[in-house]
Amino acid sequence: MRNLRNIRYNASLNGETITSTCWDPAKDEILCTFGPSDQDGHIRLVRISEHVRASSIDIECQEIASWDAPSPNPDLAVDRVINAHHFSDTLTTCLVLEGGDIVIVQESESLNPQDGVHIEIMGSIDEGITAASWSPDEELLAITTKANTAVFMSRGFDGITDMTLTADDLKESKHVSVGWGKKETQFQGRGAKALRDPTIPEKVDQGVLSPNDDGSTTISWRGDGAYVAINSVETGIRRVIRVYSRDGVLDSVSEPVDGMEGALSWRPAGNLMAGIQRLEDRVDVIFFERNGLRHGQFSLKAPEDRSLAKDQIRLEWNSDSTVLAVTLDDRIQLWTMGNYHWYLKEEILTQKRPHCFTWHSEKPLRFASAISGKLLLAEYIFEITRGSLTPPYDYGAVAVVDGKTLKLTPFRTANVPPPMSFFEIETSSPIIDVAFSPANTFLAVLHQFGVDVYEWRINGQRSMRPSLIGSVTFTRSNTDEDYTPLQIAVTENSVVHCLGFDKAPVIQSHPFDRNTGQFSSNTSIHAGSMFGFVRLTQAGSTDVLAQDCLGKLHGVVNLEDEIYSTRLPVQLPWSEVIDLAGNVIAVGLSRNGHLYANSRLLLKNCTSFLVTPAHLIITTTNHLVKFIHLVDNVDNLEVPPDDPENDERCRSIERGARLVTATPTNMSLILQMPRGNLETIYPRAMVVAGIRQLIDAKDYGKAYSHCRTQRVDMNILYDNRPQQFLGNVGLFLDQLDDVSYIDLFLSSLRDEDVTQTMYKDTRGVRNQEAPEIISSEAAASVPEGSSKVNTICDAVLSHLQSRKHKDHDTLQNIITANVCKVPPAYEDGLLVVATLMQEDEQLAEKAVEHICFLADVNTLYDEALGLYHLDLALLVAQQSQRDPREYLPFIQNLHQLSELRRKFAIDDHLSRHEKALAHLQTLQAHQEAHGYTAKHALYATALKLYRYDQRNLTILTGLYAIHLESKSRFREAGLAYESLHDYAAATRCYRAAGTTCWRECLFTAQQQTPALTPDAFTDLASALAEALFEAKDYASAATIHLDYLNSLETAISNLCKGYHFADAMRLASLRGRPELLVSAVDPGLADALGSTTEFFADCKAQLRAQVPRIAELRRKAAEDPLGFYEGERGGGVDLPDDVSVAASSRVSTSASLFTRYTGKQGSVGTAGTGVSRATSKNRKREEKKRARGRKGTVYEEEYLVNSVRRLVERVEGTRADVERLVFGLTRRGMHERARALEGLAAEVVEACKVSVKEVFVGAGEKGKGQGEEEGREGGENGEGEWRPMGADAVLLENLEAAWRKQEPPKITGLERLSLLGS
Q: What are the pLDDT digits (tens) for 1142-1151? A: 333 333 333 3
Mean pLDDT to the nearest integer, 859-868: 88
Mean pLDDT to the nearest integer, 524-552: 87
Q: Worst-scoring range by mean pLDDT, 14-18, 192-196, 581-585?
A: 192-196
> What's at 234, amino acid-wise?
E
> What per-residue confidence (pLDDT) applies to 76?
87
d(CA 450, CA 467): 17
The answer, yes or no, to whether the previous bond of 72 is cis (omega within 30 of 0) is no
Bridge partners, residue 548, by sequence? 530
HEC secondary structure over 925-977: CHHHHHHHHHHHCCHHHHHHHCCCCHHHHHHHHHHHHHHHHHCCCHHHHHHHH
From the list 697, 778, 682, the residue with the least C-alpha distance to 735 is 697
Mean pLDDT to the nearest integer, 71-88: 90
Q: Which residues contact 860 (CB under 8 A, 6 or more apart)?
A: 826, 830, 851, 852, 876
Counting residues of the chain whose pLDDT is more than 70, the rounded percentage is: 86
Q: Worst-scoring range by mean pLDDT, 333-342, 451-460, 464-473, 802-811?
A: 802-811
> What per-residue confidence (pLDDT) applies to 433?
96
pTM here?
A: 0.75
d(CA 4, CA 380): 6
Question: What number of H helices and E strands is found in the chain?
Answer: 37, 55
> What per-residue confidence (pLDDT) applies to 1196?
80
> What per-residue confidence (pLDDT) applies to 1138?
40
The answer, yes or no, to whether the previous bond of 823 is cis (omega within 30 of 0) is yes
Mean pLDDT to the nearest integer, 678-686: 93
840 — pLDDT class (breaks 50, 70, 90): confident
pLDDT in tens, 957-1003: 999 999 999 999 999 999 999 999 999 999 999 999 988 999 999 99
**Residue 103, Cβ neighbours under 10 Å: how many?**
22
> What's at 644, amino acid-wise?
P
Contact indicator for 318, 361 with CB cutoff of 8 Å: no
From the list 333, 383, 419, 376, the residue with the least C-alpha distance to 9 is 376
**What CA–CA distances, in Å, run from 133 to 103, 140, 219, 221, 265?**
14, 8, 6, 8, 12
d(CA 1034, CA 995): 12
Instruction: Inform me whether the pLDDT recorded for 489 exceeds 60.
Output: yes
> What per-residue confidence (pLDDT) applies to 767?
38
Q: What is the DSSP letter of 28?
A: T
Q: Worst-scoring range by mean pLDDT, 132-141, 1059-1068, 1145-1154?
A: 1145-1154
Rg (CA), the chain: 49
Mean pLDDT to the nearest integer, 223-233: 95
> What per-residue confidence (pLDDT) applies to 1281?
47
pLDDT in tens, 1168-1200: 343 444 466 666 666 666 666 667 677 788 888
Counting residues of the chain whose pLDDT is more than 90, the rounded percentage is: 53
d(CA 1012, CA 997): 19
Contact indicator for 5, 21 with CB cutoff of 8 Å: no
Our CA dihedral for 1018, 1019, 1025, 1030, rounded to 10 degrees, sits at 170
User: Coil, strand, or helix at residue 181?
Assistant: coil
Q: What is the DSSP letter of 148?
A: S
d(CA 63, CA 77): 26
Angle, helices 1034-1043 vs 1048-1057, to 10°: value is 170
Higher local confidence (pLDDT), 719 or 1148 = 719
> What per-residue confidence (pLDDT) applies to 842?
81
**H-helix segments, 770-883:** 771-781, 788-801, 808-819, 826-839, 841-854, 857-866, 870-878
> What per-residue confidence (pLDDT) applies to 715?
94
From the list 408, 383, 382, the residue with the least C-alpha distance to 395 is 408
46 — pLDDT class (breaks 50, 70, 90): very high
Q: Which residues contact 1218 (CB under 8 A, 6 or more apart)?
A: 1092, 1237, 1241, 1310
> What per-residue confidence (pLDDT) applies to 1292?
55
> What per-residue confidence (pLDDT) applies to 776?
45
Mean pLDDT to the nearest integer, 1259-1282: 42
d(CA 587, CA 610): 9
Question: In 504-657, which ranges are E strands?
Answer: 505-511, 523-526, 530-536, 545-548, 552-555, 562-567, 574-580, 583-589, 595-597, 600-603, 606-611, 615-620, 624-629, 650-652
Burial class of residue 484 (count of CB atoms within 10 Å of its CB; 0-12, 13-18, 19+) = buried
Q: Worst-scoring range by mean pLDDT, 158-167, 180-189, 368-377, 1056-1065?
A: 180-189
1165 — pLDDT class (breaks 50, 70, 90): very low
pLDDT in tens, 305-316: 788 888 899 999
Instruction: Inform me whether the pLDDT recorded for 197 exceeds 70.
Output: no
d(CA 802, CA 318): 74
d(CA 781, CA 326): 70
Mean pLDDT to the nearest integer, 531-560: 87
d(CA 82, CA 105): 16
Q: Worst-scoring range by mean pLDDT, 269-283, 610-624, 862-876?
A: 862-876
The CA-based diameter of the chain, rounded to the nearest angstrom, is: 157
Describe the strand order of the beta sheet including 314-317 as a list of residue ranges: 314-317, 324-327, 331-338, 341-349
- Secondary element (H or E) of residue 239: strand 238-245
444 — pLDDT class (breaks 50, 70, 90): very high
Q: Worst-scoring range by mean pLDDT, 146-155, 174-183, 1206-1215?
A: 174-183
> What per-residue confidence (pLDDT) applies to 1001?
93
Mean pLDDT over the full length of the chain: 85
Burial per residue of 1212-1245, b for 16 or more beta-carbon CB atoms within 10 angstroms, e otherwise = eebbeebbbbbbbbbebebeebbbbbbebbbebb
Mean pLDDT to the nearest integer, 782-805: 84
d(CA 156, CA 159): 9
